Amino acid sequence: MRNLIVGSAWLSPIALIILWQRAPILGLAIMALSHAAWLYATLRANVQWLGPVITRFETNAREVWLTIDDGPTSDTPAILDLLQASRVAATFFVKGALAAKNGDLVRAIIERGNNVANHSDDHPSGAFWRLLPAEIARQIDRCNATLQSLTSTRPIWFRAPVGMKNPAVHPALEQRGMRLIGWSVRGLDTVRSDPADVATRIVPRAQPGSIIVLHQGRQNSLACLQRVISDLQAQGYAFVIPADERLKTKR
């Protein structure tokens, strides 16, 4: 599918030239559609056209995976206290550049029974979709190197900034034996930070095997995490970090 999308986008100008005399509208339509497919698959999180995106995990139990993005930030110790008090383990998708400056926070995340994964080096939210392959590789490798030096383990999971993945992302991950992690439900807590609103977006949509994404480093991050954890626990959900072989690409 990736080759089809990328190939047709590259070849569509040739179709336009061939069709220009007899059917210019058709030629333009082919070019627009092929580029639209490329853009849609790149910008729309969890769309699998360019390669597999993990969107849930296999389970027979009432359990979910909590993932916390954009740290490590100064609220990390308070979040770790909350997780421990709630008997919750979570995966922190961290930015490499922040991790390099806050090695003590990364080590605390691990020591308290959680794990860390790669969320790019400096999180170029507005530009990640159009980065060239060498720049994508740099974003992945710098974060991996920082986390490996801090934890002695190389991350196997990558979450793209804002979920964007252009055609260079999957080949880079495949070369490194890594997987692209999306989500099942998100609270949009960076847009609407009221904890009750965030919980309303997540809790009714959660199912066994759901991957939940929340953020840290915002004013209400701790309150949002607290609310979502307690509401899901009230519904009988446990929080686990699934083994890699349990991860699935279909909802």
**Residues binding Zn ion (CB under 5 A):** 69-70
Q: Minimum distance between the CB of residue 142 and Zn ion, rounded to whole angstroms?
A: 16
Q: Minimum distance between the CB of residue 116 and Zn ion, rounded to whole angstroms?
A: 14
* Tokens encoding 73: 């930030």
Q: Which residue number, 63 or 135, has a Cβ lying nearer to Zn ion?
A: 135
Q: Minimum distance between the CB of residue 195 and Zn ion, rounded to whole angstroms?
A: 19
Q: Which residue number, 34 or 76, has a Cβ lying nearer to Zn ion?
A: 76
Q: Which residue number, 164 or 232, has a Cβ lying nearer to Zn ion?
A: 164
**How many angstroms separate the Cα of 223 from the Cα of each of 80, 110, 194?**
13, 22, 9
Q: Minimum distance between the CB of residue 244 and Zn ion, rounded to whole angstroms?
A: 21
Burial state string for 189-226 with b = 16 or more CB within 10 A and e = fewer than 16 = bbeebebebbbbebbeebeebbbbbbbbbbebbbbbbb
Q: Which residue number, 69 or 231, has a Cβ lying nearer to Zn ion?
A: 69
Q: Which residue number, 73 or 151, has a Cβ lying nearer to Zn ion?
A: 73
Q: Where are the beta strands (DSSP E) in the chain?
A: 56-57, 63-71, 90-94, 115-118, 157-158, 179-180, 185-186, 211-215, 238-239, 247-248
**Beta strand pairing call for 90-94 and 63-71:** parallel
Q: Which residue number, 15 or 212, has a Cβ lying nearer to Zn ion?
A: 212
* Tokens encoding 248: 């699935």
Do 241 and 89 contact (CB within 8 A), yes or no?
yes
CA nearest to 160, candidates 131, 192, 194:
131
Q: Minimum distance between the CB of residue 233 and Zn ion, rounded to whole angstroms?
A: 25
Q: Minimum distance between the CB of residue 95 and Zn ion, rounded to whole angstroms?
A: 8
